[in-house]
Amino acid sequence: MSCDFVDMTNLDNLKKAIKKNTKLVWIETPTNPTLKVIDIKAATKICKEKGVLSVVDNTFLSPVF
């Protein structure tokens, strides 16, 4: 098992990072500690097109928002 860390503020990076054996894309938004925000809808669309499960972690953002 392996993992790659990808800057998904540019979704071309995500497209390039998905390989034949990719099973899951973990999206953290906003990122900790830099507070970068990922386009969840666009990222999950890419994952669906490639048949890859996507998970979004927004632990850093309070449930208030």
Name the residue among 53, 3, 2, 58 with its Cα closest to residue 30.
58
- In tens, the pLDDT along 18-38 reads 999 999 999 999 988 889 999
pLDDT over threshold 90, residue 64: no
Q: Which residue has the tokens 């996507």?
A: 54
Looking at residue 52, its pLDDT comes to: 98
Positive or negative torsion for Cα 24, 40, 4, 58: negative
pTM of the model: 0.86
Find the mean pLDDT for residues 6-11: 95
